[in-house]
Chain A
């Protein structure tokens, strides 16, 4: 009995080490292909539309309500200390440094990351990736490179939209509904948010974009050999769920790490 448990543990450790190694090699190969021209600009634009364009509405709604909630909570907390003038600063810093990049990344994982993983998984399952290889087309150049570029470009853009809409949501609640003065809302934000905060948000969104697309493409592409994968619809569903869970945890962990390094 104990021996079986130890064997299972050992097998899981070996599987973890193997998968981590494969992920590293996969990323290195994708990055190398990204730096090797020529690239199909049309494919990259299509993927930016898929990852970025089609996520815009959900980002606008998420950003709006996040800004509104931040302003509502912030107003009630600051009111006790008579510091409602700091509302703009609290909303601006919270969104630009933290909530903007993280929530945008989580939304993109749910909408685009899962879809990309499922798409590649189905392509693998239905022999479309084999067909590409048999046509002499490198699947990394054809499938991965446009998606990697698109994620790295789209995430900062979506984060910017999230931040702007969130600030407007905060304005709506703080200024229009709660009666904080418009001048103090924007002046407070102007005084407390500086270029390093914007840089932090930008770096986070770039890194999150890379992490999301790395995990999603890896899981989909290697559906057939991953432990969670296997063949058929169940395999696709399992790796898609895995992608969402793993990406979300990795985003939150890396958010803390980046914050520790840059703050």
Chain B
């Protein structure tokens, strides 16, 4: 590994992913530096969640390579993957909290499974993390009693309970009102500064992305269109990037013959 790779927490090289016969990601390259917030942005079906799941080792790539915290994860056994995953936190789109467990039990789950801490210490850590996400006093509620924003914040508290250096978010502001969404964005930025975390956020919310990102990668139909700072992305001349930023519908040209073939189902 070269010297300048040391600060690269994630390195994705020539990544290709398929769902069945369909190619979702085409030779994707991406690096995430230590201590930055990288936002992966794109429209629906652009492949951003597939990219995230592949980085987490939940999907197997067809080809290409992923280095996560200096570990090459593509060829690893399941057991070795579980070991690496203990070093990072993930906040899923819907929270993915266990409905049969209280907020406290959900947050303490990684501690119960991976440490031998006594209950008192775990309780203190749980209260501390709830304090960070502004949910003090909610530890005994069940997930069904929480709003969408609260669920995401509890999921965040669970993701940071082991003090990870790397944090992943899947659509953190999806389905939230603008105020709650802005609060969550602030929280993400605060976490990065206070805990010196490297954060990867997958989102299609432009405002949210511009608020939190150090760098942005724009995906479109499985291809990386651009990776750069917020200003670089805003000033990018690529049409598809501008379509996304200006919320313009795609204007794919289809000739009449091709259109008829599609309608009648004849030919490719």
Contacts and interface: CB of A to CB of B under 8 A. Distances in A.
Contacts of B53: 130
B255 interface: no
Interface string A122-154: 010011101101111110001000000000000
Contact of A136 (B58, B85, B94, B97): B85
Contact of A127 (B84, B96, B168): B96
Interface in B77-95: 78, 81-86, 88, 90, 92-94
Nearest to A129: B96
Interface string B80-116: 0111111010101110111000000000011001100
A136 B96 contact: no
Nearest to A134: B90
A144 to B, nearest CB: 14
Contact of A126 (B83, B86, B96, B109): B96
Contacts of A137: 82, 109-110, 113
Interface of A: 123, 126-128, 130-131, 133-138, 142
A134 B85 contact: yes
B197 to A, nearest CB: 16
B16 interface: no
B96 A128 contact: yes
Contact of B113 (A127, A131, A133, A135): A135
Interface in B43-98: 53, 56-58, 78, 81-86, 88, 90, 92-94, 96-98
A127 B92 contact: yes
A76 B163 CA distance: 73
Given A135-B110, A136-B114, A130 B58 contact: yes
Given A128-B98, A130-B58, A133-B58, A138 B92 contact: no
Contact of A134 (B56, B83, B97, B113): B56
30 contacts: A123-B98, A126-B94, A126-B96, A127-B92, A127-B94, A128-B96, A130-B58, A130-B92, A131-B90, A133-B57, A133-B58, A133-B85, A134-B58, A134-B88, A134-B90, A135-B85, A135-B90, A135-B109, A135-B110, A135-B113, A135-B158, A136-B84, A136-B86, A136-B110, A136-B113, A137-B109, A137-B110, A137-B113, A138-B82, A142-B113
Contacts of B86: 135-136
Contacts of A133: 57-58, 81-82, 85
Nearest to B93: A127
A123 B99 CA distance: 9
Interface residues of B, number: 25
Contacts of A135: 85-86, 90, 109-110, 113, 158
A137 B109 CA distance: 9
A131 B92 contact: yes
A135 B58 CA distance: 12
Nearest to B114: A136
A123 B53 CA distance: 17
A123 B95 CA distance: 12
Task: Count chain B CB atoms within 10 A of each CB in A127, A134, A136 and give the residue with the most.
Answer: A134
Contacts of A131: 90, 92, 96
A133 to B, nearest CB: 7
Q: Which 10 pairs show the lowest CB-CB distances between chains A and B?
A: A131-B96, A136-B86, A134-B90, A136-B85, A127-B96, A136-B82, A127-B92, A135-B110, A128-B96, A137-B113
B45 to A, nearest CB: 15
A131 B85 CA distance: 10
A30 to B, nearest CB: 14
Nearest to B94: A126
A138 B114 CA distance: 11
Nearest to A141: B113
B46 to A, nearest CB: 19
A126 B82 CA distance: 20
Contacts of B94: 126-127
B94 to A, nearest CB: 6
Nearest to B82: A136
A136 B114 CA distance: 8
Task: Count chain A CB atoms within 10 A of each CB in B56, B90, B114 and give the residue with the most.
Answer: B90
Contacts of B78: 138
A95 B79 CA distance: 46
A223 B98 CA distance: 18
Nearest to B109: A135
Contacts of A134: 56, 58, 85, 88, 90, 168
Contacts of B58: 130, 133-134
A17 B268 CA distance: 32
Nearest to B106: A131
Nearest to A130: B58
A133 B78 CA distance: 9
Nearest to B90: A134
Given A128-B98, A130-B58, A136 B92 contact: no
